[in-house]
Amino acid sequence: MNTEKTKGLSTDPYKGVRDFYPEDMFILNYIFGVMRKTVEKFGYQEYSASILEPTELYKAKSGEEIINEQTYSFKDRGDRDVTLRPEMTPTVTRMVAARKRELVFPLRWYSIPNLFRYEKPQRGRLREHYQLNVDLFGVVSNDAEVEIIALAHQIMRQFGAQEDNFIIRVNNRKTINYILEEVFTLDPHQAYKALKLIDKKDKMTPAEFKEKATEFFKKRTQFFLDLLNAKTIEDMTEVAIAEGSTEILGTKEVTDVMHRLKLMGVKNAVFDPTLARGFDYYTGVVFEVFDTSPDNPRALFGGGRFDDLLSVFGSDKVPAFGFGMGDVTIRDYLETYNLLPEIRSKTDIMLCLLDDSVHIFADTFAQKLRREQLNVAIDMSGKKVGQQIENANKSKIPYIIVIGEDEIKNSQFKLKNLESGKEIVLPSEKDIADIILKTPEQQ
């Protein structure tokens, strides 16, 4: 016997990616819907692009880790180096650079691309995820920071999140660079390595971090750790001044942003000097949104200012600030806080047939209902009507109409709400549509 044939191919998806069955699509579409509705409220326009990009796009400024360890890269048949996009920021920047002269700034753009990263699959981290990207191009001032962070906060609130259950951490790359290059006088190469160390801080024990930090800061390591441990900007300034340093660059910007956010009702933004963000292209304020519960230790959003990225296309600088928000982490979050919507079918009515002879009538009847804007399916299983009703219920379809010779003869149809069990006899498809579409309280 051919054993290979009986064993068959695996039905598992490729490692670290997901299949989306209709119930998963329901959730994904709900998530996308909330994202879209919120960003459009702030005046953002949707754009899109291919998942394929020339590999060199990421070499410029994404960072070594993403290029060397996390990309899906290959050579195409024409010997070109191609990468499945691991993030959208280089793509959107390329698109802006390509049409810089025609576009009207400030530009408010969003997209929900699928991204590919060769990561070790684990809770909150997969090899393919969807990521809402929201970016504001053309604003030099902190107006951009304030709008975008307030928008991120608004998305969380739209999902039903309470302010106590998430936190917005804010820092400034200028602050980190000032500490590394001015306070500790590291050369740019050392400073870059120290920044990467800060970015990895949460993945190490405090002792490991201290040991690695000593390589850069030698006798002044404790001073460095004290700066990073500061809970507020005032604390950090105090530590710096006590060691003979001055006010730290970039902290005033963060104070201003947090103050303005408070005025807009965002009360859960905090300064976090350990927040570095992995990508090389960030130039100013950076932020991440975290769940306050230890069940979901990963960032829900991450973003920042990237004023220099357009220059890799030989274009003049265009200031930019934006973020990415993944579907995997927000779904975990919504599950944790019981915020996921109940799964419902998009089909309003299933027509259940008493016998096959009524099928021709059902076809035209369904068409009439569809013209009344209802979503209608016909049970073609040939099963007993009781079974048909049960299946409609299992498929979470809210209404059924049983069609038999008598119903056709009398032109009277019983619309049954499967949840309440209520039945209403109705003569026309218009009445049926009125009941379902115009009186939602009866559903």
Binding residues for ligand HAM, rule: CB under 6 A, are 87, 89, 117, 119, 125-126, 129, 131, 133, 135, 299-304, 306, 322-326, 328-329
Q: What are phi and psi of 52, to 5 degrees?
A: -95, 135
> Minimal distance in Å, beta carbon 61 to ligand HAM?
11
Count of residues in the chain: 443
Closer residue to ligand HAM, CB minimum distance, 254 or 300:
300
> Minimal distance in Å, beta carbon 188 to ligand HAM?
22
Residue 16 CA to residue 212 CA, distance in Å, equals: 31
SS3 379: coil
Which positions ≥6 away from 324 have C-beta within 8 Å?
A: 87, 88, 89, 131, 132, 133, 301, 302, 303
Closer residue to ligand HAM, CB minimum distance, 96 or 389:
96
> Minimal distance in Å, beta carbon 298 to ligand HAM?
6
> Minimal distance in Å, beta carbon 89 to ligand HAM?
4
CB-side neighbour CA atoms (13 Å) of 50? 6
Nearest CA-CA partner of 21 in 402, 395, 432: 395
Other Cβ atoms closer than 10 A to 142: 18
Closer residue to ligand HAM, CB minimum distance, 59 or 220:
59
Q: Please say whether the beta carbons of 202 and 195 come within 8 A.
A: no
> Minimal distance in Å, beta carbon 261 to ligand HAM?
18
Which positions ≥6 away from 414 have C-beta within 8 Å?
A: 401, 402, 407, 423, 424, 425, 426
Closer residue to ligand HAM, CB minimum distance, 238 or 295:
295
Place of tokens 């460095």: 224
Closer residue to ligand HAM, CB minimum distance, 117 or 416:
117
Residue 209 CA to residue 202 CA, distance in Å, equals: 9
Closer residue to ligand HAM, CB minimum distance, 144 or 426:
144
SS3 56: helix
Question: How many helices and strands in the chain, by DSSP H and E?
Answer: 17, 17
Closer residue to ligand HAM, CB minimum distance, 122 or 411:
122
Residue 385 CA to residue 121 CA, distance in Å, equals: 45
Bridge partners, 269 (sequence order): 168
Which residue's Cβ has the minimum distance to ligand HAM? 326
Closer residue to ligand HAM, CB minimum distance, 329 or 388:
329
DSSP states along 407-431: HHHHT-EEEEETTT--EEEESSHHH
> Minimal distance in Å, beta carbon 437 to ligand HAM?
37
Q: Please say whether the beta carbons of 213 and 224 come within 8 A.
A: yes
> Minimal distance in Å, beta carbon 135 to ligand HAM?
5
> Minimal distance in Å, beta carbon 87 to ligand HAM?
4
Closer residue to ligand HAM, CB minimum distance, 286 or 352:
286
Instruction: Quote the tokens at residue 6.
Output: 């009986």
Closer residue to ligand HAM, CB minimum distance, 119 or 307:
119
SS3 83: strand
> Minimal distance in Å, beta carbon 21 to ligand HAM?
19
> Minimal distance in Å, beta carbon 361 to ligand HAM?
50
Q: Please say whether the beta carbons of 428 and 368 come within 8 A.
A: no
